[in-house]
Amino acid sequence: MTQNVNVMLTQSPVELYKILKFEGVAASGAEAKIMIEQGMVSVNGETESRKRRKIIAGDRIQIDDICLHISD
């Protein structure tokens, strides 16, 4: 079962790995970067390999069974 989480941005854009860290999906920035490098993260339905991908309102981030819906 997918866990949907709404994420409100206080500034935009935000780097992908920072969102994973701040939302508790990854324990640290380093762990978030490894998850992205290993192809475990998708943005808007496509596997993302850029750790510093700029995330804006309207984006959807998927990691395993967690879906982060980004808004501002």
Q: Report the C-alpha gap between 50 and 6 in whole angstroms.
A: 22
- Three-state DSSP state, 58: coil
Mind listing the pLDDT tens digit for each residue in 10-43? Answer: 998 999 999 999 999 999 999 999 999 999 999 9
How much is the pTM?
0.92
Question: What percent of the chain has pLDDT above 90?
Answer: 93
Which amino acid would we find at residue 10? T
Q: Report the C-alpha gap between 72 and 8 in whole angstroms.
A: 5
Average pLDDT in the chain: 95
Written as six digits, the tokens of 18 are 């920072």
Query: Options 3.40.50.720, 3.40.640.10, 3.40.309.10, 3.10.290.10; which CATH number does 3-71 get?
Result: 3.10.290.10
Could you give phi then psi for residue 58, rounded to 5 degrees?
Answer: 100, -15
Q: Cis peptide before 13, with omega less than 30 degrees from 0? A: yes
pLDDT of residue 1: 80
pLDDT exceeds 90 at position 51 = yes
Q: What are the residue boundaries of the structural domains of the chain, listed by start?
A: 3-71
57 pLDDT band, cuts 50/70/90, is very high
